[in-house]
A and B are shown apart, each in its own frame.
With several copies, the nearest count.
Chain A
Amino acid sequence: MTTIDMPAKASRPAFNIKREGERFALVAAWLLLIVIFGTLMPDSFLSWRNFSTMFGSQAVLVVLTLAIIIPLTSGDFDLSGASILTMSSMLIAVLNVKHGWSIGPVIIVALVSGAVIGAINAFFVLYFRIHSLIVTLGVGTFVNGMILWVSQSQTISGVSMTLVEWVIINRLFGIPLAFFYALILAAVIWYVLEYTIPGRKLLFVGRGREVSRLNGINVDKVRAVSFIVSGLIAALAGVFYSGMTGSADPLSGLNLLLPAFAAAFLGATTISPGRFNSFGAIISVYFLVTGITGLTMLGAQAYVQNLFYGGALVIAVSLSQLVRNRQPQDFS
């Protein structure tokens, strides 16, 4: 056994067609959808306005998906994300509209509320050692009750135009700023998960709690931080939500829960297959919404949207599994 010089083959094979195929299958499917709808409706579908609206209006879902990716990476489910989003947007509306607070402090309160709910999740999961699924389901339901109470079940409109402007009215290349915020956040999360030590620790904790503990990672701290950050980002999604609509209602945000999970899991089949990853999540969101938008523009009935959504989800994942020879997906 001698120390020898670096062998050339130690660095990755430069290009692996199969692996790249796996990574970009969903992107290809997305482009295909665009081509199809573009051919059918060259004027309306291919307009920049259509794309910019699509990009802008999905920013909320993207951010929520990013929020749940973090605990998913560290091995926990967070079903309270949509409730936190709604709570945050409702707090903004109530404090800003009803109590006349200025928007800056209101946003801070909203973000803090998200972090606090995340901390509550973390407390129950970690102190009592309860499965995250049941804790976040319970806490989420509790938060839903709080929202109804805070809002008296009412929609509150008239949220500060400053917020609205900075979220959806001001644009870059015609796309509302919200999209770029989501993009920046995705890049930050990507960077943190891939290129920082805390990000690596998160991944290790998700893949092996006991291994991580024995390797000197403070597992409870990592999981707690991941819940809190997830709450914070979900609350940020709520800020965008109220900026997007200029209002808050106690319920519609809750519908984003399942789409966010769908996007997170679909996203884990692309870009960095086998890992929950932020750009994969973005692509999943836009892949699905492109299909829905195209169908709506074609005048398809509501049920066709469900058929597409469910069908596309399953088929997209199936195809990506075919590309990787149907190796089981392993997120743990």
Chain B
Amino acid sequence: QADPMADANAIIAEHEKMPVFDPPGEAFDAKACMAGKKVLSIPISMTIPFNVELQKAMAKAAAEVGFTYTTWDNQLKSDQWIQGVSQAISQKYDVLDIAGGLNPEWLGPQLAEARAEGLKITTTHFYDVTQEQHASVDYSGAVDYTGAGKLLAAWAFAKTEGKPNVLIVGSSDVLPSIPFVKSIQDQLTALCPECTQKHLDVPVSEWATKIQPGVQSAILADPGINFVLPIYDSMSQFVVPALRITGAEGTVKIASYNGTPFVLDMVREGQVHMDIGESLGWSGYAAVDNMMRMLCGLPSVKKLNSPLLVFDEKNIETAGVPATFDDGYGDAHLEGFRKLWKLQ
């Protein structure tokens, strides 16, 4: 049996170096095959900062290539999503993109209708790489949640000298959470079969009311807990007060995933131990890349080309003060995608 600590450190090291651009497929003349094309993207809600930034990046990429890209602004209401699909159909869009956590299953009949009208359906930043896309979807920009899960587990293992006692805060109403949590659990078990771990499952709409008390109770019930892993870093704002109020701040550490700016700020202030960042600028370009591949008749990419980067006290200043969605990753992707799309 290999040394688990070495394995963990290897996983971490792989995500600590500056990301390099790794072309997701062959280059193609994007301008040519996207000429006159129209894409409408429906995010789950534009009140979520993550979606706002992702949409900005996608719009920017589209502008570089020069096709019409529209975001359907909405606030987590199914009638608005339906209206968006209808808009895509009536305004003769070519691609309908379901973005940032919106589950295509919630729009089954509408997507079927859109397809019948000749639209192509994509999802962006929704499925985990291990998940099958729904039948109503053509191309998916799947995300490496599983990889993030492994990284979180490795981090907790490595930073506790191999004695992690972990509380995972998940949210299984968000579809990719399931493989995400599972990969944390599996990786932890692989690294340390006898270590304790616990899963607190809180539906998204109840984060504000249930995460804090849930984390508090878990910590009081098991004072040995030394790492809290909220799978989405926006949960941290409820985890931090739970640690504070139970007097566990400092002894119990937080590591998470998403690279949301306010959490990066919390990393800088020492409230959060580590946050796995994912450049949304990069992700937006990668998503548009995948979409264009679909329209240009190229095969789908397996995994959204957007690397995961560890932000901790060592490199947090590179994320900006205050932090942003896009700083600290370098801009290898801009160069890379432009080349890939034969823009330069």
Instruction: Classify A-B as touching or not with yes or no (CB < 8 A).
Output: yes
The stretch of A49-57, A126-134, A181-189 that contacts the partner chain: A49-57
Give CA–CA (A148, B172) in the complex, Å.
11
Of residues 164 to 188 in A, which have CB atoms within 8 Å of B's CB atoms? 164, 168-169, 176
State the CA gap A215–B51 with chains docked (Å): 57
Q: Is the CB of A53 within 8 A of B203?
A: no
Once the chains are docked, how many angstroms separate the CA of A163 from the CA of B236?
A: 19
Q: Can you list 27 contacts pairing A with B, beta carbon distance less than 8 Å?
A: A49-B89, A49-B220, A54-B83, A54-B216, A57-B86, A57-B212, A57-B216, A148-B47, A148-B203, A153-B47, A154-B173, A155-B105, A157-B134, A157-B263, A169-B109, A241-B78, A244-B78, A244-B82, A245-B78, A246-B237, A246-B240, A246-B241, A247-B240, A252-B78, A252-B208, A289-B213, A299-B73
B216 closest partner in A (C-beta): A53
Q: How far is the CA of A18 from the CA of B240 in the complex (A)?
A: 45
Q: Is A254 an interface residue (CB 8 A)?
A: yes
Chain B residue at smallest Cβ distance from A49: B90
Could you tell me if A293 and B83 are in contact, using CB atoms closer than 8 angstroms? yes
Residue in A49, A58, A252 whose CB lies within 8 Å of B76: A252
Residue among B91, B201, B208, B263 making CB contact with A153, cutoff 8 Å: B201
Could you tell me which residues of chain A, from 302 to 327, have a CB within 8 Å of some CB in chain B?
A: 302-303, 305-306
- B339 located at the interface, meaning its Cβ lies under 8 Å from any Cβ of chain A in the complex: no
Interface of A is mostly: helix
| A153 near B241: Cβ-Cβ < 8 Å | no
**Contact of B202 with A by CB under 8 A:** yes
Q: Within 8 Å of chain A (Cβ to Cβ): is B317? A: no
Shortest beta-carbon distance from B81 to chain A in Å: 9
Over the window 245-264 of chain A, the binary record of Cβ atoms lying under 8 Å from chain B Cβ atoms (1 yes, 0 no) is: 11101111111100100000
Q: A301 interface residue, CB < 8 Å from B?
A: yes
Closest 3 CB pairs of A and B: A252-B208, A246-B108, A157-B105
Q: How far is the CA of A300 from the CA of B202 in the complex (A)?
A: 12
Q: Which residue of chain B is the closest to A300 with respect to CB atoms?
A: B73
Q: How large is the interface on A (under 10, 10 to 19, 20 to 34, 35 or more residues)?
A: 35 or more
**Pairwise interchain contact A249-B173, C-beta atoms closer than 8 A:** yes
Residues on B with beta carbons closer than 8 Å to the beta carbon of A169: 109, 113, 244
B118 on the A face (CB < 8 A): no
B-side residues, CB < 8 A to A, are: 45-49, 52, 70-80, 82-84, 86-87, 89-91, 103, 105-110, 113, 134, 172-173, 175, 200-210, 212-214, 216-218, 220-223, 234, 237-238, 240-242, 244-247, 260-263, 265-266, 269, 271, 322
The listed residue with most A CB atoms (<10 A of its CB), out of B79, B210, B266, is B79
Q: Shortest CB–CB separation between residue B47 and chain A, in angstroms?
A: 5
Q: How far is the CA of A252 from the CA of B174 in the complex (A)?
A: 12
- Tell me if B79 and A58 are in contact (CB < 8 A): yes
User: Contacts A50-B90, A255-B205; is A168 near B244 (CB within 8 Å)?
Assistant: yes
Contact A57 B172 (CB under 8 A): no
Contacts of A168 in B (CB 8 A): 109-110, 241, 244-245
Q: A155-B105, A244-B109 are in contact. Are A259 and B172 (CB under 8 A)?
A: no
- In the assembled complex, which residues on chain A have CB atoms less than 8 Å from the CB atom of B71? 299
Q: Which of A157, A244, A292, A293 has the most CB of B within 10 A?
A: A157
Known contacts being A250-B173, A302-B73, is A255 close to B241, with CB within 8 Å?
Answer: no
Q: Which of B74, B175, B234, B262 contacts A296 (CB 8 A)?
A: B74
B262 touches A154 (CB 8 A): yes
Mask: chain A, 263-304; 1 = CB below 8 Å from B; 0 = not = 000000000000000000000000001001100110111110
What residue of chain B has the Cβ atom nearest to residue A60's Cβ? Answer: B79
CB distance B87 to A297 under 8 Å?
Answer: yes
Assess whether B221 is in contact with A297, with CB atoms less than 8 Å apart.
yes
| 139-166 of chain A: CB within 8 A of chain B | 148, 152-159, 164
> Which positions 53-110 of chain A face chain B at CB distance < 8 Å?
53-54, 56-58, 60-61, 97
In the complex where A244-B82, A302-B206 touch, is A56 in contact with B245 (Cβ < 8 A)?
yes
